[in-house]
Amino acid sequence: MKKPTVFALGFLAILTLAPLAAAAQQGQQQFADLGSCKLVSGQQIDHCRLGYRTWGALNAARSNAVLFPSWFSGTSAQLAASIKPDGLVDPTKYFVIAVDALGDGVSSSPSNSATQHGPDFPAFTIQDMVDTEHRLVTETLGLTHLHAVLGISMGGQQTFEWMVDYPGFMDVAIPIVGSPHPDSRDLLLYHADADAVKADPAWQQGRYTQPIVVPVAELIWQLNLTSPANYLHTHSIDQFNADYAAAHSKGIRPFDANDWLAQLDAIDHLDVAHDGSMEDAARRVKARVLVVNAAQDHMVSPEPALNFAKRIGAKTIVLESDCGHLSPGCEATTLDPAVRSFLDGN
């Protein structure tokens, strides 16, 4: 676990002013320039920067900050729909920091690096995502503590990593359809999807010069987003034909294929125990935790998260709809108030 960089004297003013200036932006894209980001592999990301957006304002005690990292192939802009008084987190109560995770095409990524472009970009992990987010919070925003970390899907995986790697840094952790590690079914999906990208003739070992479609990777993802029952009642034959044609013309675009592979590799290698035991990892957790999973999730198996929840005595919510991995959206009218209540200490 990396320690935050410590600055002195003149930086004390920045500690006070930076969060307030960020709050004034209210959802505008911002960037934290972190210099070099040392990775757990020993490699580093050069000219490392992290994108983020903020809503709300810090209270006088500076105790109401909530970190909200992005999901797989998502961006901080896409989190905005959940940041509202009747959403997952209320910006009238909390200073919400939505973060672009490494590899999302906004923060440092294979697609936007000038010096480590495409396949030359170093492999990073969920742990590296969290370490850079910790630097954003401490170095750029000047915070020494968070009220909460919450995230959906890969954001939920980052939340699990946060609660183990920085256990005293937050009061509350809410991983939603996330996991502390993939199981064999998850690995089958992630490996197959990565193989679909690499098998596409347009991929060219990652050295393509124009955005590529990789439709099979997109179709594999669509196949696993919901349950078979949900797909059948939301897709007529005509709707299937339209979506299938769209996948072949659009694929994963506008997301970049090398970025897709980089984030997929990070979730593929997720292990909050860091080659140790899950029991030891669980003993590190200090936060009050709400684990949310979907019973019919075909994208992120719920069992690893629910098993971890038992180890730490966390409160759990299991979403029962046939929406699968998309259940947090399908069941938002019941989930969102439950999350807001848990954030408030209820």
Domain termination site, one of 266, 297, 317: 266
Q: Looking at the predicted structure, is the pLDDT value of residue 4 above 70?
A: no
Structure tokens at 243: 């979506």
Residue 6 lies in a domain: no
H or E element, residue 343: helix 332-343
Q: Which amino acid is located at 151 in the chain?
A: G
Structure tokens at 270: 């997720």
Residue 43 lies in a domain: yes
Q: Looking at the predicted structure, is the pLDDT value of residue 68 above 50?
A: yes
Cis peptide before 254 (omega within 30 of 0): yes
H or E element, residue 224: helix 215-225
Mean pLDDT of the 138-160 span: 98
Summarised one tens digit per residue, pLDDT across range 53-63 is: 999 999 999 99
Range of the domain at 152: 11-180+284-343
3-class secondary structure, 68: strand
Domain shared by 225 and 151, yes or no: no
Angle between the N-to-C axes of helices 154-165 and 126-135, in degrees from 0 to 180, rounded to the nearest 10: 70
Give helix then strand counts, H and E, for the chain. 13, 8
- Closest alpha carbon to 68 in 86, 92, 95: 95
Domain shared by 134 and 122, yes or no: yes
Q: Say how many C-beta atoms besides its own lie within 10 A of residue 260's C-beta.
A: 26
Domain shared by 175 and 250, yes or no: no
Percent of all residues in the chain with a pLDDT value above 70, rounded to a whole number: 93
CB 129 within 8 A of CB 84: no
Domain shared by 84 and 54, yes or no: yes
Summarised one tens digit per residue, pLDDT across range 13-40 is: 333 444 444 444 799 999 999 999 999 9
Domain shared by 232 and 317, yes or no: no
CB 99 within 8 A of CB 93: no
Domain shared by 18 and 164, yes or no: yes
**What does pTM read for this prediction?**
0.92
> Residue 12: what pLDDT?
32
Mean pLDDT of the 240-256 span: 96
Q: What is the chain's alpha carbon radius of gyration, rounded to the nearest angstrom? A: 19
